[in-house]
Chains A and B, each alone.
Chain A
Amino acid sequence: MKSLPLIAGLLLGSALPAATPNFSEHIAPIIFNNCTTCHRPGEAGPFPFTSYEEVAKRGKMIAAITKARTMPPWQAEKTAYPFSNERTLTAAQIELIQEWVRAGMPRGNAASQPPLPKFPQGWELGKPDLIVKMSKSFRVPAEGTDIYRHFAFPIGLPEDKWVRAIEFRPGARSVVHHALLYFDTASLWPTLDGKDGKAGFDEYNSPVAKRQRVATWAVGSNPRTYPEGIAVKLPKGADLVVQTHFHPTGKEEDEISTVGIYFADAPPAKTWTELQLPYFFGIGAGIDIPAGDPAYTVTESITLPVDVEAFAGFAHAHFLGKEFRLTAALPSGQTQDLLWVKKWDFAWQTIYNFQDRIALPKGTKLTARIVWDNSTANSANQFNPPRAIRWGEASTDEMGSITLDIVPARETELPALTAALRRHRQMTDASRVLSTDRALENGVAGLSADEAKLAKAVLGFFDADKDGKLSPAELESARANLRAQGFDTGLRRSSLPLQAASAR
């Protein structure tokens, strides 16, 4: 029996130290490489882990939180496509931490403790070509529900530029949870900014076509650097709009964020395109979650019209999100997971960068499946008893989508790709309209201006006899057509009014 651990030790090599683990040799490398990037002075982690004393003091806590896999924060399951920014501990590392804490956290020989990794100071990629900063601070109250707030950073360059990297730097690190960055050409913000007496504005209804998401920042993120040969356009006159998510900390905090932008010398060889299922965080998908529903599900598919390459994925929902899964049914007949977040946690919104670009040939069918839990079993549910929740931009509304950052394999096929994505958005809207109880039997009569706009677009596709309304036969064939494309046209709970989704 005595030889068992020895054999295990031999089999597992250095993963299992023969003797009791100690800080210098075994624990410091794990903590310094997986935790200290956030847990050091000036970063978002609540306490530093830069020395034996600092780590040993929290030993019990570290053991519990790593065992629960709450830290380091990382949500995606392993798939066939590894991520370059993956942050997880191995089971052996977690066990080593437990053993060390059980053994009373011995220090070992201080001389063999590795030095701290070199962490960047200031701008990680050097001085940016352009720095923009909030001109007024935004005050986050001491407590209350999370806040989503938009801030505009005027840029307005006289010509188009290409951006190769972008870095977001929050001022009050502990209160900023994540941020979505857009280049915006709609310029609607000056009419909204500061209107409620506070810096920024709550909702931003600029059209989808006029804003390009350029980066997502979350606690512990590196600057967003696009892969070699990819850059995003900062159009002439465009401004930066940032949606920031704040999580109150117990005291008032004043946030002033700064953004650094790095330009590329030349336009990219391939154009970054965003494929979102369902589009615009599900605005057109009719998200309407009954109170108490433990598994409200939206499924949406798209078939790729050309060969593409995927380089990053991103999942987004609010408190009720539960599971996200994006699969690719390849023309070869094989099906692969691209992104699978089994246990969504609103607190951590990470961009998942693929280590290598994933080739997705023409004809690949991508399917996103998103599940929300609006029961009391969801410990993040902000309402008890639960309430029916619909799509909306406030943190207590819901959203949900999976985004895949892609480029066409051949730049000449970009127009075909964008046209297909646009058509897909229109079909999403159509399926939404046709799954309500007023499915345009009377045309646009009685609809609001917003709804009429949406309805007209739908009629444009399916009103074969051009009489301005859908006959029962037209309606049936439209629904069949949409179902064939993988859309759900079953009657939903919520009927009109519809948000002017296609206008986005």
Chain B
Amino acid sequence: MYRLVRIAAALLCATLACAQTPPAAPSKKIALHLFVLVDCPISRRLAPEFRRLCADYSPRGVGCTLVFVDPDTTPQEARKHLKEFSLESIPFVIDSRHELVRRAGATVTPEAAVLDAASRVLYLGRIDDSHVSWTRSRPPTRHDLRDALDAALAGRPVPRPRTDAIGCYISPLPDDSAKD
């Protein structure tokens, strides 16, 4: 299964967009998918935390990937976004066919999924509790994603495997929804 993700990602890369480095290097046993949109305010606001997360957890064996969920995002736009938000060091993929979105069951950006080597979703949900509604934020007191990563790396069950993420809904792909 894990291979499949990699193949899917590689395929996406080959056909469309591409990560500067392949997503989830083979040595990593845990994958972290961060679902993002270039223009979603909360997705943008959490960029500094994405950077810290990947810096903290990559050395511990977590393969970080930023997953752009809007199929209309061009690789140029994605790169520009990464540069603006100082996220260039994180591999990215444009999930044009929502393969990663579907695999994790992501519905919102920003949202995080933690997957094990067998591609099982160990955690899906918010990064932390800093956003309480679309317009309200405060310093976080619960770091659900970090807790999930710590548990996953230690081989423990994730304490709260599902949390609600606040942000922008991931729109279905046009061919899924367009009716006239």
Contacts and interface: CB of A to CB of B under 8 A. Distances in A.
A49 to B, nearest CB: 12
Contacts of A142: 47-48, 85-86
Interface in A100-138: 103-107
B79 interface: no
A105 B138 contact: no
A379 B46 contact: no
Nearest to B81: A251
Given A46-B39, A60-B169, A106-B179, A382 B45 contact: no
A347 B131 CA distance: 13
A61 B171 CA distance: 8
A145 B140 CA distance: 11
Interface in A381-433: 381-382, 384
A108 to B, nearest CB: 9
A384 to B, nearest CB: 5
A21 to B, nearest CB: 13
A64 interface: yes
Nearest to A379: B132
B138 A47 contact: no
B136 A347 contact: yes
B44 A249 contact: yes
Interface in A185-220: none
Contacts of A345: 135-136
Interface string A159-203: 000000000000000100000000000000000000000000000
Contact of A250 (B48, B70, B135, B179): B48
B178 interface: yes
Contacts of B85: 142, 250-251
B40 A347 contact: no
Contacts of A452: none
A70 interface: yes
Contact of B135 (A60, A61, A70, A384): A70
A57 B71 CA distance: 11
A106 B178 CA distance: 7
Interface residues of B, number: 30
A77 interface: no
Interface in B123-180: 132-136, 138-139, 141, 168-169, 171-172, 177-180
B47 A250 contact: yes
Nearest to B138: A382
Nearest to B141: A384
Interface string B22-62: 00000000000000000111001111110000000000000
A145 B49 CA distance: 14
Contacts of B41: 46, 174, 249
Contacts of B47: 142, 250-251
Contacts of B133: 70, 379
What class of interface size applies to chain A in its complex with B? 35 or more
Interface string A51-79: 00000111111001100101001000000
A104 B169 contact: no
B136 A379 contact: yes
Contacts of B84: 251
B61 to A, nearest CB: 27
A281 to B, nearest CB: 21
A380 interface: yes
A476 interface: no
B168 A61 contact: yes
Contacts of A380: 132, 136, 138
Contacts of B168: 58, 61
A87 to B, nearest CB: 15
Given A106-B180, A251-B85, A143 B39 contact: no
A57 B171 contact: yes
A379 B134 CA distance: 11
Contacts of A145: 139
A59 B45 contact: no
Among A143, A345, A348, A381, max chain B CB count under 10 A is at A143
Contact of B177 (A70, A105, A347): A105
A143 B48 CA distance: 7
Interface string A236-262: 000000000000111100000000000
B36 to A, nearest CB: 11
A60 B138 contact: no
A65 B134 contact: yes
Contacts of A248: 45
A429 B120 CA distance: 65
A70 B133 CA distance: 9
Interface string B66-81: 0000101000000000
Interface string A80-110: 0000000000000000000000011111000
A47 B39 contact: yes
Interface string A335-365: 0000000000101100000000000000000
Among A64, A250, A379, A381, max chain B CB count under 10 A is at A250
B45 A250 contact: yes
Contacts of B40: 46
Given A57-B171, A347-B136, A251 B39 contact: no
A218 to B, nearest CB: 13
A288 B136 CA distance: 23
A101 to B, nearest CB: 10
Nearest to B72: A57
Contacts of B177: 104-105
A203 to B, nearest CB: 22
Contacts of B134: 65, 68, 70
Contacts of B70: 57
Q: When A and B form their complex, which 9 residue pairs have the shortest distance between CB atoms, in order from nearest?
A: A379-B132, A104-B179, A250-B44, A347-B135, A250-B47, A250-B45, A60-B169, A143-B48, A47-B39
11 contacts: A57-B72, A57-B171, A70-B133, A70-B135, A73-B135, A104-B178, A104-B179, A142-B47, A250-B85, A348-B135, A382-B138
Interface of A: 46-47, 56-61, 64-65, 68, 70, 73, 103-107, 142-143, 145, 174, 248-251, 319, 345, 347-348, 379-382, 384
Given A56-B178, A60-B169, 6 more contacts: A57-B70, A70-B134, A70-B135, A142-B86, A319-B138, A379-B138
